[in-house]
A and B are shown apart, each in its own frame.
Chain A
């Protein structure tokens, strides 16, 4: 397992993405799931950076685990901010036209659609969000 802890600020998005991509490259992850995982990092990390500790800044810990047979990547985001389960955000209506479309909920919707599993728990004062993606 690999782990990184950084301040949950938007300027650290690149560092988190690079950290995860390095692990994905080690296992020869194809480009498409790597892009999908990078998008998910953007969505989840920016949520934490914008909302978890507002208006303060606090830490976020990201871990990467690799499972074999089939090869799956498991990424966990942990913060000590306000309890918030992003999976409860209502899904956008994807059938509306440009004028009617609303802004919210798209990010977490994308996470659910592109990952194989997404779970949330609040434990020991921490928001723990875990995503799993089969990359084999």
Chain B
């Protein structure tokens, strides 16, 4: 998994590449949460993300809770597999998906 970050004012763009699973989630969490100070908009681009397991869903939930307090969070470009996971788990209701 690779995480690319780009900050534009108080907007943080995060591109996740590969897999967010039990092993990689710790690194993803550290990289994203470490950059959220003063951020009012978090944009997660999942175009190059193959899949996300429940460990990754837990990370998304905790990021959503943080961003609900300081602004907003948007998820975009997720593939068919991830879209279906969001739907069956009810995450499509919790997250803002563009």
Residues of chain A having any CB pair with chain B under 8 Å: 10-11, 13-14, 32, 35-36, 38-39, 42-43, 46, 92, 94-99, 101, 103, 106-107, 109-110, 113-114
A125 to B: closest C-beta gap in Å: 26
- Contact A106–B58 (Cβ < 8 Å): yes
Known contacts A13-B23, A94-B89, A98-B61; is-contact A35 B51 (Cβ 8 Å):
yes
Given A39-B51, A92-B89, A98-B64, does the pair A32, B80 have CB atoms closer than 8 Å? yes
Interface residues of B in 26-70 (CB under 8 A from A): 50-55, 57-58, 61, 64-65, 68
Complex contact B23–A11 (CB within 8 A): yes
- Residues of chain B with a CB closer than 8 A to A109's CB: 54, 88-89
Contact A35 to B21, CB < 8 A, known contacts A43-B53, A92-B89: no
Interface of B is mostly: helix
Q: Mark B82-93, 1 if CB is under 8 A from A, else 0.
A: 001100111001
A42–B81 touching, CB < 8 Å: no
- Per DSSP, chain A at the interface is helix
Q: Does B22 contact A (CB under 8 A)?
A: yes
Known contacts A38-B51, A42-B53, A103-B61; can you find 17 more A-B pairs with CB under 8 A? Answer: A14-B23, A35-B81, A39-B52, A39-B85, A92-B89, A92-B90, A94-B88, A94-B93, A98-B61, A98-B68, A99-B68, A103-B58, A106-B58, A106-B89, A107-B55, A109-B54, A114-B88
- Of the A-B pairs whose beta carbons lie under 8 Å apart in the complex, a sample of 6, sorted by A's number, is A13-B23, A39-B81, A39-B85, A42-B55, A43-B53, A106-B57
Which residues of chain B come closer than 8 Å to A114, judged between CB atoms? 84-85, 88
Query: Assuming the A-B contacts A32-B80, A39-B51, A42-B55, are A13 and B21 also in contact, with contact meaning beta carbons closer than 8 angstroms in the complex?
Result: yes
Contact of A110 with B89 in the complex, beta carbons under 8 Å: yes
Q: Is the CB of B90 within 8 A of A96?
A: yes
Residue from the set B19, B55, B81 with the largest chain A CB neighbour count within 10 Å = B81
Q: Give bound CA distance, A114 to B23, whole Å.
A: 21
